Chains A and B, each alone.
Chain A
Amino acid sequence: MNSEGRPTQPQIATPLAPQTFTGARALQIHEALIFDTGRLDFTGVDLDPPKPFTPRLGGLERKSEIGLPGLSEPETMRHYVRLSQKNYAIDMGPYPLGSCTMKHNPRLNEKMARLPGFADIHPLQPVSTVQGALALMEELADWLLKLTNMDAVALTPKAGAHGEMCGMMAIKAAISARGEAETRKVVLAPESAHGTNPATAAALGFSVRAVPAGADGLVHPEAVAAALGPDVAAIMLTNPNTCGLFERDIVEIARLVHEAGAYFYCDGANFNAIVGKVRPGDLGVDAMHINLHKTFSTPHGGGGPGAGPVVLSSRLAPFAPVPFLKREGDRLTLVEETEGTQSFGRMAAFHGQMGMFVRALAYMLSHGADGLAKASEDAVLAANYVRVCLNDLFSSPFGDRICMHEVLFDDRWLKDTGITTLDFAKAMIDEGIHPMTVYFPLVVHGAMLIEPTESESIVSLTLFIATLRDLAIRALRGETERFLGAPYYAPRKRLDETAAARKPVLRWTPPEPIED
């Protein structure tokens, strides 16, 4: 009964339609590039020319054509609306991208971020004229510190990976302050870590020593102890980890790391599983970044912007980057200079992703402390529900055990079907569901990492599960055609990524003129 509980009955149409003259298929319209349709001598913005004046450009006037086509306002609307219709988004359906966390994006957050008092203020206007913005940053910091039980927060990092950089810079500064810059040059990272972890460590002049995970997908204290030594600066551990598991021995690992004189950097990418349930500060963490878009729902906009504030323990707090907030009675100021502090310096021009701070705080206030805990619980509940509803068909790399907010399967169950994880993912597209994260974490062969999040209703979860079961059964029955040619119904069929990389075409160029 693979369709048990399926709330809607799918109808399969038999396509016998003729080719269209335009190549369009009703709402699926080919959309030209603006460079094909726009005109250099046209603008869609009304601008009155200035009164005659004497330019003062020092003879550096641009002489050549730039090559920027202009569109009228209706053309602009149509171009971008049509393009938007070729995108999948969380507002359209399930987006179970494990480790990326695609949850509901409340529009209240957008409305608040667009208040002129937040959206239309300049980072360098007088501090007396931005007291509300600084108060908002202080309030956000207070939430982050209480939710993590940490001592300081650096708001400036502009994304999760930038936050990693910030945390590791604080660690490097602390080690230098101890006079151990020359001796502690190694960072431990589990094999299952996000690629950003080793990349960050390497960028800061550390060498990376891998820590193997156990057969249960967890990092074990013995493995950490074996890798530790007087040359180790820090460990970078993700919790919950990228296999969707809570690192059971995290407190013991933290103790070992501290005993060895090293620091514990926690990759907080999966903090959304434990907000309001467990505080990283209680686990022995020294630094952790928080992806505001994942945990506190700031929309990801097709790949950013993000925001990656970093919380720091008392041992690292003095090294936090500038600028940081300082309260003097009822007045807030910004410390912009490192002089007189142990701050490691500046990470970006201004104060961070203010627009994201507003959205995150609006989300926190809407949920409250109780609602944030419930969101974590529901995310974990939904992942485990998916797990038990699929575990008779799909194979689990580390045995069938309780997971956190995401559930990890591998491709052993597809052995001998001729179907790969990628084929399965593309078939999900035809069913109207965004594929899960595939081939990550790298330690698992043919990984499929599913993160339903707390946003899915029981109706949606049930349909999602039924669809994956239907697909799995068809795969196991040998209906390979459904998979190998998928997607059949997307705006594009499989795209040739090898060709794109071999001879990169990264910009439009004018067509060659035809010779007479």
Chain B
Amino acid sequence: MRYLPLSLQERDDMLLRIGAAAIDDLYADAPRDALLKGPLDLPLRKTEPEVERRLAALAAKNVAAGAAPFFVGAGAYKHHVPATVDHLIQRSEFLTAYTPYQPEISQGTLQVLFEFQTQVANLTGMEVANASMYDGSTATAEAILMAHRVTRRRKALLSGGLHPHYAETARTLSDMAEDEIAILPPDPRASEDLIGALDSGLSCVVVQNPDFFGNLRDLTPLAEACRAKGVLLVVVVTEILSLGLVEAPGTMGADIVVGEGQSIGNGLNFGGPYLGLFATREKYLRQTPGRLCGQTVDADGRRGFVLTLSTREQHIRREKATSNICTNSGLCALAFSIHMAMLGETGLKQLALINHANAVSLAEALEKTSGVEVLNRSFFNEFTLRVKGSAAQVVEGMAERGVLAGVPVSRLLPKAGLDDLLLVASSEVNTDEDRAAFVTALTEELRA
């Protein structure tokens, strides 16, 4: 076996040294009748080419985003990732390292995390950021728990513009922790009155911007109203690239900003691994979940970095821990950080502008298409269409015509009576031809 270096002779010599007659003597503490006598009913080992063939056959049954005009978003976005990013994250010293528990020989990972935290804090307009979480949805649930700890209240209010999967994730955790949660009805036109729904018993209000339906809104009045009632404002950003063009949540008055970082440096991967972003005000630092990297000095006075404030964490305080989280998305954070360093301020703004321009161009074309209505007044790179009939059927039909058209709202909100709504995302990878193909396929589908 190519992955197992010990020869049969070496195994025997080692057993002899240990004083065991057979390998199963090392399993002496396992119940006798539970010890398996032979291999299970599963395939035996395959050679490298055999594994490649098997998995390539499975991969070939999927339609890759790069193989079709592609407009699917709703919390995961197709963007171009520079070759340099994927090359660098595959360097052994990054790829095959563990959590930097020994900082003297983990300065590479630690410096990257420090740079990442700075990038995320700057991007969100917040004072501090952590070294990443699992993904945007779990980061949102953790933000709510943090708001409960900070305010000592246990009720959260979720906007109807929040990604339905994020809301469900938060609700599951809230129900289990026996906290209260209120989720407002879906809000395709961003007309809900969050300020009117505020009360002083709330720990936080959770609002997404751009929202699930693509709408942008100014959160400044909401932030002011929240502050007056001691309620924290949690802002969720599922398309983090939008912050290259849209005002930062921190500037609008957010207390906690969580986001999905997949768009920068990370591929679609059928839903994971992704990258949760988490930023907040410095005064809440010790209530922040997840890993934090801090700057310090070494014995010679040279600058260095360590994981810090771990007294909040599970391995020290156990049942008093801030959260049960014991890892982050280190490699995804690295990919994000590299891509962001290559883009820089100028590139990020330019990339965001191109995304917006492409989406506007598509929206303008669709506004001229009969049987279609664009619901949004404002948006970044994703908007909501109202189509005649079932959006789910339209998407299926367009897939057969070779266009991956978007996400029917009913897929995430099957009971909301929004069967005619379709979320459409457009990014820098879409060409004029892709947009033309979209309009043509949609027109044909609506006519069919």
- Report which residue of B55, B109, B306, B310 has the largest number of chain A beta carbons within 10 angstroms of its beta carbon: B55
Which residues of chain B come closer than 8 Å to A373, judged between CB atoms? 36, 39
Give the distance in Å from the alpha carbon of A391 to the alpha carbon of B395 in the complex: 66
Q: Which of A7-15, A71-79, A221-229, A256-264 contacts B (4 or more CB under 8 A)?
A: A71-79
A456 to B3, CA, bound (A): 10
Contacts of A347 in B (CB 8 A): 138, 169, 172
In the bound complex, residues from chain B placing their C-beta under 8 Å from that of A230 are none
B82 at the binding interface (Cβ < 8 Å):
yes
Residues in chain A near residue B26, CB distance under 8 A: 377, 380-381, 384, 402, 404
7 tightest Cβ-Cβ pairs between the two chains A and B? A70-B344, A350-B271, A301-B331, A117-B59, A58-B378, A132-B61, A43-B347
A-B contact pairs, 20 of them (CB 8 A): A33-B111, A45-B351, A48-B354, A49-B353, A66-B243, A70-B346, A84-B108, A87-B93, A118-B55, A120-B66, A122-B72, A195-B318, A196-B326, A302-B112, A321-B172, A347-B169, A368-B46, A370-B45, A381-B18, A496-B297
Q: Is A164 in contact with chain B by the CB < 8 A criterion?
A: yes
Answer whether residue B411 sits at the interface, using C-beta atoms and an 8 A cutoff. yes
Check if B216 sits within 8 Å of A60, measured CB to CB. Answer: yes
Q: Are A388 and B102 in contact (CB under 8 A)?
A: no
A511 CB–B CB distance under 8 Å: no
Besides A71-B344, A300-B99, A349-B165, 16 new A-B residue pairs in contact (Cβ under 8 A), listed by A number? A33-B115, A39-B344, A43-B347, A56-B379, A62-B248, A68-B343, A76-B341, A83-B112, A87-B106, A87-B109, A100-B99, A194-B314, A274-B30, A349-B271, A374-B4, A381-B18
- A491 interface residue (CB < 8 Å to B): yes
Q: Are A104 and B3 in contact (CB under 8 A)?
A: yes
Provide the bound-state CA to CA distance between A361 and B55, in Å. Answer: 9
Which residue of chain B is the closest to A126 with respect to CB atoms? B399
* B165:A118 contact, CB within 8 angstroms: no
**Which of B2-34 touch A at CB < 8 Å?**
2-7, 10-11, 13-15, 17-20, 23, 25-31, 34
Across the interface, do B51 and A345 meet the contact criterion of CB distance under 8 Å? no
- B20, B30, B343 interface centre (most CB from chain A within 10 Å): B30
A110 located at the interface, meaning its Cβ lies under 8 Å from any Cβ of chain B in the complex: yes
Most interface-central of A83, A114, A278, A495 (chain B CB within 10 A): A495
Fill in one digit per residue for B205-247: 1 if any A CB lies within 8 Å of its CB, else 0. Answer: 0000000000011100000000000000000000000011111
- Contact present for A494 and B299 (CB under 8 Å): yes
User: Known: A56-B363, A83-B107, A346-B172. Is A367-B97 also a contact (CB below 8 A)?
Assistant: no
- Asked if B59 and A118 sit within 8 Å, CB to CB, the answer is yes
Once A31-B111, A504-B294 are accepted as A-B contacts, the answer to whether A90 and B45 lie under 8 Å apart by CB is no
B443 located at the interface, meaning its Cβ lies under 8 Å from any Cβ of chain A in the complex: no
What residue in chain B is nearest A113 (Cβ atoms)?
B269
Within 8 Å of chain A (Cβ to Cβ): is B448? no
Q: Whole-angstrom distance between the alpha carbons of A107 and B113 in the complex? A: 25
| Max chain A C-beta neighbours (<10 A), residue from B131, B291, B342 | B342
Question: Among B175-183, B192-200, B434-442, which stretch is in contact with chain A?
Answer: B175-183
Complex: how many Å from CA A369 to CA B216? 53
> B298 on the interface (CB 8 Å rule)?
yes
Give the docked Cα–Cα distance between A492 and B304 (Å).
Answer: 7
Chain B interface size range: 35 or more
From residue 305 to 353 of chain B, which have CB atoms closer than 8 A to chain A?
305-306, 308-311, 313-321, 323-332, 334, 338, 340-351, 353
Binds B, one of A153-161, A410-418, A470-478: A153-161
- Asked if B88 is at the interface (CB within 8 A of a chain A CB), the reply is yes
Within 8 A of A (CB), among B83-127: 84, 86, 88-109, 111-112, 114-115, 117-119, 121-123, 127
B169 touches which of A47, A125, A348 (Cβ 8 Å): A348
In the complex, what's the smallest C-beta–C-beta distance from A47 to chain B, in angstroms?
5
Quick check: B72 and A495 within 8 Å, CB to CB?
Answer: no
A66 with B247: CB separation less than 8 A: no
Q: A306-B327, A440-B315 are in contact. Are A349 and B171 (CB under 8 A)?
A: no
Nearest-neighbor residue (CB-CB) of A338 within chain B? B168
A-side binding surface: helix, strand, loop or mixed? Answer: loop
A79-135 interface (Cβ within 8 A of B):
79-81, 83-92, 95, 97, 100, 102, 104-106, 108, 110-112, 114-126, 128-133, 135
Q: Please tell me if B447 contacts chain A, counting CB pairs below 8 Å.
A: no
Are A198 and B319 within 8 A (Cβ)?
yes
Contacts of B334 in A (CB 8 A): 301-302
Instruction: Write the B360-386 contact mask toward A (1 if CB under 8 angstroms, else 0).
Output: 110100000000000011111000000
User: A178 contacts the other chain (Cβ, under 8 Å)?
Assistant: no
**B308 pairs with A497, CB closer than 8 A:** yes
CB-based contact B176/A169 at 8 Å: yes
The answer to the question of A448 belonging to the interface, with a C-beta cut-off of 8 Å to chain B, is no
CB neighbours (8 Å) of B243 from chain A are 62, 66
Whether A491 lies near B344 (C-beta < 8 A) is: no
**8 Å CB interface, B118-152 against A:** 118-119, 121-123, 127-129, 131-132, 134-138, 145
